[in-house]
Structure 1
Amino acid sequence: MANPVEAADENASGDQSAQSGGETATPEENPAAEAAEGAEALKEAVADTTPTVGSLIEQLDAWGFTVMDTRFSVWTVLVVVLVILGIFLFARITTALAKSGLKRATKLDVSQRLLAEKVLTVALWAIAILIGIDILGIDLTALAVFSGAFGLAIGFGLQKTFGNLIAGIILLMDKSIKPGDVINIADQAGNETFGQIRKIGIRAVSITTRDEREYLIPNENLMINQVENWSYSSRKVRMQVPVGVSYGCDMKLSQKLMLDAAKACKRVLKSPAPTVWMAEYGDSSVNFIIHCWINDPEMGVGNVKSEVLNTLWDLFQENDIEIPFPQRDLNLRGNEEFQQLVAAISQRVSGKADGGDKGPAESN
């Protein structure tokens, strides 16, 4: 007959072995299974609150399939889609509200506001993603297996993307460029792009030229290539308009007319005032340079030069100022061969003239 104490000990040891066996038999959790568990918990919570909706959820949950010991149903997929959609809407709405709030902060300049908007956007999207993961019940430690592969993918596939992101943040921090600036940038092939900055994005800077062409230049290019910013510390830009007049003209009057033509242009600033410099004595003309200032380079510079030259043309015509063109004087040295050639040409020309004067009867 068995001792009651020994039987109790055997039952206790059996229970402990059963418990340890149950713990070792628990399958390893994965994100898909945790998402399904989160959907199951949500289903139970809704069913307890509203029985009618709970019955509908039960029907949706009955339609599904199993993949590697993890069951997926229509309800599970619907919950995941709704959570992702909610994350997207939450991030977009909160980002828009944050940007509108920053626009009201008048103490921030354009560069500081853009930098704050980018930081807030990244932070709000991160918060929204974490909230979605928490709703689905996914344990972040389950994603540790994929962290190495994800980091490797970022290092190789998204290297340029993250490089442009960091370059854009640096450009905004040092305030070297900002929306509204007029810049001229040259790439490694020597091709230049001149235009006004409309937007500084996460990946590229949008530049619009005078012919309404919009160029998207990667942020890294603005970091490694030379950039000519016409409105970095001042929006004033000096223009040079070359003009040449004949040697026989009144130089004082010519310079006065050049100043009058520059002052007549509406976009030319009164201060600093336009000036005229005599540049050089050229082969066919005395060359001058008209210096004039503008403070709106985004409106173009070629049209200002054209307006000054058109006005100056009319003033030169009214005051008989000649705009020269290249002229050459040929000096032919006399020698025996040249004289023979001239004589032969003269004799031939005179012979043709005599033959032309004869009538029909004389020619017969």
Structure 2
Amino acid sequence: MQQYLNYSKEWLERHGAIHTAKEICQQPQIWRDLLQLLSQRQPQIETFLTPLLADPNLVIILTGAGSSAFGGVALAPWLREQTKRNVYAYGTTEIVADPLQYLSTHKKTLIVSFARSGNSPESVATVKLADQIVSDCYHLFLTCNPNCALTDYAHQKNNAQRILQLVLPEGTHDLGFAMTSSISSMILATLLLLGGIDTHQAYDAVMKIATICEHQLLNWQTITKQLAQKNHERVIYVGSSCFTGIAQEAALKILELTAGKIATRFDSILGLRHGPKFMINGKSLVVCFFSNDAYIHQYDIDLFNELEHDNIATDVLALSGQQSTHKQILSVDCHLSDCWLIFPYLVFAQMLAFEKSLSFGLTPDNPCPTGEVNRVVKGVTIYPFHQI
């Protein structure tokens, strides 16, 4: 009998959860497929990216809306440190509202658009605004849907020197409400394309992470189900470096899949004490994403110990790439750079959000059947921008 997250396919279909469960579980194989896709497209990718990345003054903007924006937030600091390039993460929702605050007219710019559907009004508007405002502008479209507005835009421009579109492997265009396969695959694609990682090293790392996540998809089922049955009214995710953006994404997953029944918050490890700690009460779950970096890890441990000593939250939990005997620290046994820990941490957050959704009797594939919140955003009016 076919199962996902220890539920039968038939049970998941009856409970409106089949797409989300399948899309969480398929990610390790999708990442392997992505490696193959990038290998096949390597000549085009190198022709487009090599001359751009050779320019030390190039500005790279990672952009998207919702989860797609948070993927950029997770990657930008790491890419900036590792590649010494000018990498920034701005939401399309920010750029569209006030483009001149985010787009520089006379700076050579590569816009990397994360887009699951490729049809969000802000995604298309950001691309058009960038071409309107930036005199030397290039686009990398990372899309999961081959038939979308961004594809139409690329075909309309028909300029391979200015636009490269990569449609990610089949299956990344999530049918469930929440972004799962799509966001992890877009993050991975960006890491492989812009991270300056040796091809052999990248292959080994992806294969290792895929195997680790397949194991954790089985290993974490018990704890995520147990946590889902607890009466948490608030869930707070915290992390530093790459993991502030992942904490933001994890908080969104809970909020989305429980249709707002659980209040969520994210912050950095050091930022939590500066007021947001008031969010923690006797019905809270706090999840810390630990760094593998020895310097950062000192701050992770300090906060974790403090939260345990406070004894306010119902549960305080940590995910770590390092082995630990502490029963509240879940080890994923990964000693790679933090950028690779992103993927098991995402999987855990997705699994927990899925179980929390079911615990409320909701349908994870569509937690808002009345339509106030939609899988692809509706109701946005895009106004013409007149540059002064």
For the aligned pair, the TM-score class normalised by the smaller chain equals under 0.3
Highest RCO, 1 vs 2 (Cα 8 Å, sep ≥ 6): 2
Larger radius of gyration: 1
When normalised by structure 1's length, the TM-score is 0.20
More helix by share: 1
